[in-house]
A and B are shown apart, each in its own frame.
Chain A
Amino acid sequence: MTLEISGGVENAVATLVLKGELDASSAPLFKTEIEALAAQHPTRLVLEVADLTFMASAGLRVLIFAKQKLGTGVDIYVVAPQPAIVDTLEKTGFHHSVYIVDQAPA
Chain B
Amino acid sequence: MSATRFPADLAALAPLRDLVKQRADAAGLSTSRGYRLMLAVDEVATNIVLHGYQENGLEGHLDVSVEVTEDNELVVCLEDDAVAFDPRSLEGPDAEDLSIPLEERDEGGLGIMLAMDGVDRFDYERVGERNRNTFAVRLKE
Contacts and interface: CB of A to CB of B under 8 A. Distances in A.
B11 A72 contact: no
Contact of B105 (A56, A58, A64): A64
A83 B32 contact: yes
Given A60-B110, A84-B32, A67 B103 contact: yes
B114 A88 contact: yes
Given A23-B46, A64-B107, A97 B102 contact: yes
B102 A88 contact: no
Interface of A: 1-2, 21, 23-25, 54, 56-58, 60-61, 63-64, 67-68, 72, 83-84, 87-88, 91-94, 96-98
Interface of B: 10-11, 13-14, 17, 31-32, 35-36, 38-39, 42-43, 46, 49-50, 93, 97-103, 105, 107, 110-111, 113-114, 117
